[in-house]
Structure formats: structure tokens, C-alpha cells
Chains A and B, each alone.
Chain A
Amino acid sequence: MTTQINGSAITGLAAYRPTRNVTSAELARQTSVSPEWIEERTGIKTRHHASEEEDLVTMGSEAGRKALAAAEVDIAEVDLVILATATRRRRIPGAAPEIASRIGIPAAGAFDINAVCAGFTYSLAMASSAVRLGSARNVLVIAAERTTDFIHPRTPDTYVIFGDGAGAVVVSRSERDDIGPVVWGSDGNRSAVLKMETFDDKNDYVVMDGPLVYKWSTATMPRAARRACELAGVELSDIAWFVPHQANLRIIDTLTRTLGFPPDRVARDVVDTGNTSAASVPLAMTRLAESGRVNHGDLALLLGFGAGLTYAGQVVRMP
């Protein structure tokens, strides 16, 4: 067998943000914490809560459609659709095939992956590999989450941070290597620090040991970030934009300080969007792109990390 290795690049980027915006003041009224506690502890001012109509397929399709338009890629040339999500209630079937059909993509490969908050960066790595090996001309990577289906006011630490939304990128064959090798890892011994539990109403909700999630993230992610740069053959100082998973602002600020990034070069979409699990990295990338401050070709360090515990990250050039 012979294999030709191509380059890969992100050629389109888009987001879908649910219509309803929920303030910390509104959530505080439903829980035992104050708006001041929420802001001090998480940095989050608002987050989106999806309506019943804004289901995963709807949000994912919207983001996907817009990303394809931004990439100027014909839907007939999309060979693979990957959906990263951890919040689909119905397990069978996966939602990626339905999203592909909704967009009108004919007969692409399509599958879902669940790596929770690291879902997008894992999916991006898969997409880049598929394109580089010639298995796909273009891959549509979508991360769509309805985390608010799994939060309960009884646990304010999760109730106030999570939000909903979808982000998408198109990964295309390229003459250049514009998506770096992935760095990934996990620690299943810590799986209990961010998980689901069945409450009295017989439904499952996310519960979290916030300090232990913070401990692992702030101890492990700086090493991963440096390794991703090393694999991509760049220095940390070459990175124009640091886009970590938007878990909460305290984690982002500590990572920023540890890695020495200028704060205005770090994505802080969590302030307006909350923690949207897999969707958080592409939503944050889109927010940066919408700010007008990003130049085509700027190097960005993406780092998804969370429940599992698991992480994946890579250096990419922004479209």
C-alpha cells in the first residue's frame, strides 16, 4: 500500500449561540449562592440556555452550514462529519448522520464522539488525520452541547457555569501543515471529580468537585500546552491566541499566568457564554474571529480538557 500525506488546514469557522441569554442574577435567585459569588468564583456574567426547539441537531446543523459557507466548500465535497457531544439524551442513533442530512451533505461518513470538554480538539485531530491520509477531502467538525439539560439548582457550582451552544470548523486538504500534531492524555483515576449522579427525581445531573478539577487542570495543562507547541515546531511566544476550554475564568487566568500569555491574547468567551463542554473551544475561536483582532494565519493554541478526566490540544493556524 502507498499513502500520500497531505497537509491540512481549518478553512471555515462558525458558531450557533442559542437565543436565550441567562444572567448570573437570574440563576442566583434559583440557588443558594449570590451573583457576587458566581462572578468571583467563575467570572461568568451570562450564558445561553437552549430552548426545546434548539436541539443538538438544529444547533449543530446551523453551525455546520455557516462553517461550510465560510470555507466556501461545496457540500458534495464533504466526506466526513464528526459531531462531538456529551449531552445527547437518546443514545441511538448518533446525531452526526442526521446533521449531515439536514445540511444536505450526501453520503458522507458520520459519527459522534464523546470526550466531553475535550471533544472538539479530539475531533479536530481525527479530522486532520483523515484529510492528511486522503480519507477525506473535507471534514466538517461540529461540537454541539445542551449541558443545561443536566444541571440542577441543588448543585450551584455546576448550575451556574454550564451553558449551551454549537461551534463548527471545516478541515480541508491543504498544501501546508496548518493543523499541528495533537497532544492528548487522560487520568481515569480522577473520573469521579466530574461525573453524573442520579438525583431524587430519577434524572441524571452533572456533579463536580470544583477544587479537584481546578487542581488537575492547572497542574497538567501547562505541560500539555508546551508539548503541543513542541510537536508543532513552534515556541509558546509564537502563539498569537491561547484558546483553552472555557471551563471557568479562574482556571483560564491561572493557565494564562503560568504560561506567561498576555491576557488580551487569551480567549475569555466563558464570561458571556459559560462552560459549553465540547462547544466551548470553537465558540471561543469564533468569538475571537468576530472581534476583528485575528489575522488569517495567526497561530492559535487550542486545549480541550475536562470530564474523564481527558484532554487534547493542538496548535492551528486560524482561518
Chain B
Amino acid sequence: MTLDEISAEVERLVRALMDGAEGEVTPTASFEELGLDSLNRVDLLANAEIAFGIEVPDDEVAKLARVQDLTEFVASMQRG
């Protein structure tokens, strides 16, 4: 997938969990700013695992705090 495609899918996954809440899903937006608490973030990562066919190790969970963190992580997993 291209970075743009990954970014678009990450945005879709984030919006699905925002549940209609306000907030612009920009690369630098933090999940917290978008209304997702740390448990919502785990749900997001679980959905990303399914969507992208990747695994998110436990020690990455706390680091993936912003939209672009997740986009870059997915891209790095896909590069192998």
C-alpha cells in the first residue's frame, strides 16, 4: 500500500471509533484530542491489525499517540 492509502485507511479507522465526535483527523492530531482514551486506542490498534494484516507489539502501544504515529508504524511493518 502507498503511504497515502495507509493514511486514508488509518483516518477511516479513527473516524469509526470517534463515533460522530467532532475533530479533524490530521496527521499530527493526537488520539486523545480526537476523543479516544487509551482503551479506545487499543481498539483502534486491534482494528488496524485486522485491516493491515500486522501485529502491534505491547511495547509499541503507548508510543502510538498520534495519527501519523500509526500511519508510520503501519508503513514500517509493511516494508518488513
- Identify whether the interface residues of A are mostly helix, strand, loop, or mixed: helix
**A219 and B41 contacting across the interface, CB-CB below 8 Å:** no
Contact B46 A218 (CB under 8 A): yes
Query: Is the beta-carbon distance between A218 and B37 smaller than 8 angstroms?
Result: no
B43 in the interface (beta carbon within 8 A): yes
Q: With A190-B58, A211-B62, A215-B58 in contact, do A254 and B38 touch (Cβ < 8 Å)?
A: no
> Complex Cα distance A214/B39, Å?
7
Residues in B neighbouring A254, C-beta threshold 8 A: 43
Residues of A within 8 A of B38 (CB): 210-211
- Please report the C-alpha to C-alpha distance between residue A218 and residue B37 in the assembled complex, in whole angstroms: 16
Whether A41 and B46, one on each chain, are in contact in the complex, defined by CB atoms closer than 8 angstroms, is no
Q: When the two chains form the complex, which single residue of A40, A212, A218 contacts B61, counting CB atoms closer than 8 Å?
A: A212
Instruction: State the majority secondary structure of interface residues on B.
Output: helix
Residues of B within 8 A of A193 (CB): 58
The range of chain B's interface size is 10 to 19
Q: Is the C-beta of A250 less than 8 angstroms from some C-beta in chain B?
A: yes
CB-CB nearest in chain A for B56: A215
Q: Chain A contacts of B43 at CB under 8 A? A: 218, 254
Task: Let me know if B42 is at the binding interface, CB within 8 A.
Answer: yes
Say yes or no: A214 contacts B42, CB within 8 Å.
yes
Residue of A with least CB distance to B49: A219
Other 20 A-B pairs with CB < 8 A, given A193-B58, A211-B62: A40-B37, A41-B37, A41-B39, A190-B58, A211-B39, A211-B41, A211-B42, A211-B61, A214-B39, A214-B42, A215-B42, A215-B45, A215-B46, A215-B58, A215-B61, A218-B42, A218-B43, A218-B46, A219-B46, A254-B43
Seen from chain B, the residues whose Cβ lies within 8 Å of a Cβ on chain A are 37-39, 41-43, 45-46, 58, 61-62
